[in-house]
Structure 1
Amino acid sequence: MRTDSGHDPLAIDREGVRTTAISLAVWLTITLAAVLLLLQFGEPLSNLFV
């Protein structure tokens, strides 16, 4: 079995870190938007269900 394949472990790790960072940023943005919407419109929304 050959051990000198063309794969660079550092490049693979960097791509994984980049994907994780983008996913975290998207998740935080959605969470922040949901919190802000609930703070802004929480009272009228709760009146719909009560």
Structure 2
Amino acid sequence: MSTKTRNDHLPGEVVTWKMSEEDRLAYIAKHPIIPEEKPKLLDMIEQTPWSKK
């Protein structure tokens, strides 16, 4: 048993992954980013906080 205490608030070791372009494209094909829903047009239009009425 180790007597060294662990502090979860300190940053941990950074691991850098290196992929070839072929590996990266294969990973993207296997794990695509699929948006859950499209933004609603009305939500974008109604965001006019600086307009005068």
Of Structure 1 and Structure 2, the greater helix share is in 1
TM norm structure 2: 0.28
TM norm structure 1: 0.29
Say which one has the larger Rg.
Answer: 2
